[in-house]
Amino acid sequence: MGEPVSRTKRAVASPEIERLVSLLAKLPGMGPRSARRAALHLLRKRETLMQPLGEALGDAALKIKQCSQCGNLDTMDPCAICIDPSRDPTILCVVVDVSDVWALERSGAFSGHYHILGGVLSALDGIRPEDLRIGGLLARVGLGQIREVVLALAATVEGQTTAHYLADLLADSGVKTTRLAQGVPMGGELDHLDDGTLLAALKARRTV
């Protein structure tokens, strides 16, 4: 943050510490300064944090793989969600990323299966349909067991473009295609909301 480049480039500790700092600095939300703080914290908590974290990283790097069916990350393929007999296999929730699966699982609101696209269509970033896991989605729908596909994509331009593209593709398949409701978030105060959300919430208003 505002410190000259030369300061961050200069090696001031042993190569082992410098290497640790430079790797920690590559984590999202970390910079050179917070990476140094994290490295010191780790060196102080060697037995309780540093060694366990090192092992957890090695362990996860070795064991975690992508589910060939839905794209989730797990030690098993198919993943624990895909093979869970208590989940409803007739409803499929399409999300962009593994973090969306985690968010929906935390909410406990969904008990069907997932399909992770791996991104959204974006002319700007050059992401085309063939870059996403759309073929796999159509193949799963083509098996005939799925009755409903919930498009749980972000309410952004790219997210909605992707949702429309998928809705078009699925139109002839005979499955019901739905999307998440848009409106006022829980705890959301009206004067903090953008106009688009207010407009959507007003248009989709319901009788109490």
Residue type, 17: I
The amino acid at 187: G
Fill in the DSSP letter of residue 166.
H
Does the protein bind a copy of itself through residue 193 (CB under 8 A)? no
Cα distances (angstroms) measured from residue 199 to each of 25, 156, 184, 187, 190: 41, 15, 10, 18, 11
Q: How far apart are CA 161 and CA 105, in angstroms?
A: 25
Judged by CB under 8 A, the residue of 97, 164, 173, 183 near a copy of itself is 97
Q: What minimum distance in Å lies between the beta carbon of 104 and a copy of itself?
A: 9
Identify which range of 59-67, 85-93, 128-136, 153-161 contacts a copy of itself by CB under 8 A: 59-67
Residues 6+ apart with CB under 8 A from 59: none
User: Minimum distance between the CB of residue 17 and a copy of itself, rounded to whole angstroms?
Assistant: 6
Backbone angles phi, psi at 204, to 5 degrees: -100, 25
Query: With respect to a copy of itself, which residue has the nearer C-beta, 63 or 176?
Result: 63
Q: In the bound complex, what is the minimum distance in angstroms from residue 65's beta carbon to a copy of itself?
A: 10
Cα four-point dihedral sign 135, 97, 113, 67: positive
Return the bridge partners of 66, or none.
Answer: 73
Is 49 a residue that touches a copy of itself (CB under 8 A)? yes
Please tell me the count of residues contacting a copy of itself according to CB under 8 A: 57
Stretch in the footprint of a copy of itself (CB under 8 A) among 44-52, 84-92, 143-151, 161-169: 44-52
Kindly list the residues in this chain that would bind a copy of itself in the complex (CB under 8 A): 7-8, 10, 12-14, 16-17, 19-20, 23-24, 26-30, 34, 36-43, 45-46, 49-61, 63-64, 73-76, 80, 97-99, 101-102, 105-108
